[in-house]
Amino acid sequence: MFRLLSKKLRRWQILSSKDQTQTKPDRSPVYLSKNLEGNLQILREVLGQSSDVIIREMKISSDSNVDAAVIYIDGMVDRNLLNRDILQPLMFNLQLIKDHIRQNHSSLIDFIKSSVLTVGQITGTEDIDRVISDVLKGHTAILVEGVNQTLLIDAKGWETRGIEQTTNEVSIRGPKDSFTETLRTNTTLLRRKIRDPRLTFQSLQIGERSKTDVAVVYIKGITPDSLIEEINQRLKRIDADAVLDSSYIEQFIEDNPISLFPTIGYTERPDVTAAKILEGRAAILVDGSPMALTMPFLFIEGFQNPEDYYAHPFFASLIRWVRLLGFILSIYLPGVFVSLKAFHPELFPTPLLVSVAGAREGLPFPVVLEALLMLMLFEVLREAGLRMPRSLGQAVSIVGALVIGQAAVSAGLVGAPMVIVIAATAIASFLVVPFADIGALLRLLMTIVAGFLGLFGMIIVQLEILSYLAGLRSLGVPYLSPVAPLNIRGLKDTFLRAPLWAMDSRPASLNSPDMRRQSPDQMPQVPKTESNQGGNQ
Amino acid sequence: MKREPCFRIYLAIILVIILVCLSGCWDSEELNKISIVSGLGWDLDPDTGEVTLTYQSIIPSEIKSTSGMDGGGEQKGGSALRAIQLDQDTGASPYDVLNRFTQHGSRIPFYQHTQVYVFGKDGAQKGIYGFLDTQARNPVSRPNALIVVSEKKASDILGIQDGMENIQAFGMAAEIKLSAQFSKYPAVTRLDFQQRILSKTTAPIAPIVGIAEEISSQGEKVKRLRVMGTAVFKEDRMIGQLNERESSGLLWTINKIKKGFVIIPEASLEIVRAKGEIVPELQGDQIIITIEIDEESNLVEYTGHQDLTSDILQELEKGQAKEIESQVMAAVEKSFALDADVFGFGEAVHRKYKKEWKDLQSRWDEIYPNIEVVVKAKTHLNEIGDVRKALLKD
């Protein structure tokens, strides 16, 4: 029977894959001609009749026969800059240009570039596709009659959100700035944290239609070259319509096509990104997304928090254990409770069993159903609270608290112990944010399995998950490292957080070519001077 | 393009779904489908040989109401039962009764949390093997449940509301454990009992619980449970019992003294640490057993009117040792009279004289009463409290 099923599945997969074999149309580049009118014609055709495309034609010489055109997209260029440094010089230097044309017409474009325009970044090109893409990026193009070249001026300027406080990854002591939607702002934030000349932003464009700028960030000599190569290969393979957020990239370059656990991390914090890059990871910044992707992402990173490194090591270690415990609770607690109640009541301590049995009296549904009901109710409330317009949010929380907390119990739908279990689970599930989504899925799975098979089933599923995790890789790095495969030196930043002076090498599992992070003997010591004999003031 | 992992996951999902659905929940025991048996009573009619089992089950809804906001409101006076229900059935063997019971109960009895097995004295004198086998064979029975012999019928004992516990059997178990903790009577789990039966020479023991009448605060007569002795078994038959003093002697010997007091004339001493050891010696055909007891205690009560000089302290120590020795000797004499090796002398000899044991074991019943027993108690007074000089002098 299984063979039949597997055959069917395989055929279905092959069939579905056949539809996707269209290839990218291959076009040879089109070049500009010397005819301004012709060039404009082509551009008009391509850019269409969009109202935001501005083609400003003008005469730039007192000889009326030298025409020129400036092309830009309204709203994407800095108008002040455009007027003051592009249009004004072009149109006020009529005599100068006329004089130049008399001497040498062909180098007119170079002359404008070198002597007329007072802006920073100017490039010349003959490729009409390049012109179009750059104009769409926010550049301003200048075309001149009789010249088969165009000048592309970077005078981008549009409304952006400023750098604001972190909203998702809050820390008490650390820096409070977060990434914004603008790629350049984000790269600046990173550059300001790491002033190493070897910090590299390697840019490329992804998206057939969106043409989104994507930057791979790494430090040469710390991030292994093989990792960069692998990332580039995966990025180049992407042939998507649009990349609207960094999560689009994430889904295209993950190791495991339908991974349950995230194998690529994300963060909105520049300090976290910088720290990960300095550990030998690479980051990807995507224009339009305030989240940086970091990779490889290991399981243990889910339990690390920027605050860990700013707080005292002992406290950070304690909190890390709390997070581990919370994660375990959030996945297993309802399942364990259900299986104890439905299959193994002997495992309850006797007084607890008596009170649980008391609460169970007269309830209409089996325990599994009760647990699933409450879990779903919680997910519904969570989702509603998240998506509701902010002004309505309070209504949800009031109703939720009443429904989940009091009414369900007094109405005799669910037992009070179940409410406590689900509430504890719900709160625990928010401790480890990267795994909150998968945690919700696993929790449901565990509860269902517990309802059918008890602890026995939960153990089977757990083994399955563990073997799955052990086989998972993030850009070639085993997902469970440094725990499995075990690396004793790498454990400094897993279950305990060692003091910063003790973490003198980069994580070994990341294979950084430069393992040395700092000099190893930096433990703070009491200075051995005579004046310090008392030990304290 | 690799398609294998994808495909495998589909297959795994299908397999898991099939696995889960096919197995169903056949083993499920919802809490509102079971009745938790807190105590089990066993009585044997000596004439007919019929077994009567008494089930003490917890009524969960009662627990709920008493732990809730209106809890304790309906104080049922005196000996009325709280939160438990008694059911009884009679049959040829324990399982015959169990089998019958399912016919008139609404819920399946759940034995995993049973705390005490109470045996009626009359039945226990005939032998409790049948019941013991049922419990030992069945994995749902707790090995750490307590074995109790009841002075009257087991069903009487299980029906008496006692102490502060809502669930009577739990209260009884707590009472026995407390008496064992203060070294009055032994607390014997099913496992202990089985081990003693298995050792061939050692006699099993169990505390005896009886009913005592007390006057309640309202002036009514109420029945209360009371631990009153230690039952001594020969194999599975109860053959006699030890009184309070003899029970203490037994506990000293088998090293089960934890807390408690030694009362001597003019003084009471609180036991801090105690150790009992059985040292056997084989001299020709004669077995000499030395019971060595090491004890440390604090003085908690002194009714004499003298200052506590070191002489007097020494005297107290000596008096204490004498008291312990006499307790132990009382137990020894009683056990000789019953010809039951409650101390496990046989096992001690076995451990030391492995070769000779084969011969001795077969004749143990004859040998036992002729063993020479020497008791050596060493006592040490640790602290005497904050009063060194007597408050009142003669």
Report the mean per-residue pLDDT for chain A. 85
Cα distance between residue B290 and residue B373, in whole Å:
6
Surface-to-core class of residue B182, CB atoms within 10 Å of its CB (0-12 exposed, 13-18 middle, 19+ buried): middle
The reply to whether A467 touches chain B by the CB within 8 Å rule is no
pLDDT tens per residue, range B117-142 = 999 998 999 989 888 898 889 888 88
> Strand A292-295 vs strand A282-286: parallel, antiparallel, or unpaired?
antiparallel
Q: Under a CB-based contact definition with an 8 Å cutoff, are residues A375 and A450 in contact? A: no
Q: How far is CA B261 from the centre of its chain?
A: 20
Shortest Cα distance, chain B CAs vs residue A250, angstroms: 18
Sign of CA dihedral A500, A503, A504, A507: negative
The reply to whether A32 touches chain B by the CB within 8 Å rule is no
Domain boundaries, chain A: 36-153, 183-297, 310-474
Shortest Cα distance, chain A CAs vs residue B33, angstroms: 10
| pLDDT for position B72 | 40
Which residue in B330, B322, B228 sits closest to B267, CA to CA? B322
Q: Under a CB-based contact definition with an 8 Å cutoff, are residues A270 and A186 in contact? A: yes
> Strand B146-150 vs strand A212-219: parallel, antiparallel, or unpaired?
unpaired
Domain boundaries, chain B: 28-66+77-242, 244-394
> Which of the residues A10, A350, A353 would you substitute to probe the B interface, choosing the one with the greatest number of B C-beta atoms within 10 Å?
A350
Q: Under a CB-based contact definition with an 8 Å cutoff, are residues A42 and A30 in contact? A: yes
Per CB-CB distance under 8 Å, the chain A contacts of B146 are none
What are B's interface residues with A at a Cβ cutoff of 8 A?
1, 3, 5-7, 9-12, 14-16, 20-21, 23-25, 27-32, 34, 36, 58, 60-64, 67, 110, 112-113, 115, 140, 167, 170
Cα distance between residue A401 and residue A430, in whole Å:
17
Residue B77 has pLDDT above 50, yes or no: no
> Strand B146-150 vs strand B205-215: parallel, antiparallel, or unpaired?
parallel
The rounded average pLDDT for each run of 10 residues, N- to C-terminus, in chain A (537 residues) is: 62 61 58 82 82 85 76 87 85 78 72 80 84 86 84 84 87 90 91 92 90 92 92 91 91 84 92 93 93 92 90 92 93 93 89 86 86 89 82 76 76 86 90 89 92 89 91 90 85 87 87 87 81 51
Residue B159 has pLDDT above 90, yes or no: no
Say whether B25 and A452 touch across the interface (CB within 8 A): yes
Shortest Cα distance, chain A CAs vs residue B31, angstroms: 6
DSSP state, A78? -
The reply to whether A450 touches chain B by the CB within 8 Å rule is no
Per CB-CB distance under 8 Å, the chain B contacts of A351 are 170
Q: How far is CA B220 from the centre of its chain?
A: 30
> In 10 A of CB A287, how many CB atoms?
21
Per CB-CB distance under 8 Å, the chain A contacts of B61 are 358, 361-362
Which residue in A269, A286, A256 sits closest to A438, CA to CA? A256
> What ipTM, to 2 d.p.?
0.79
Cα distance between residue A220 and residue A280, in whole Å:
9
| Third-level CATH fold of B244-394 | GMP Synthetase; Chain A, domain 3 (3.30.300)
Four-CA torsion B4, B5, B11, B13, nearest 10 degrees: -160
Q: Under a CB-based contact definition with an 8 Å cutoff, are residues A256 and B5 in contact? A: yes
pLDDT tens per residue, range A76-119 = 888 888 888 888 888 887 777 777 777 766 677 788 888 788 88
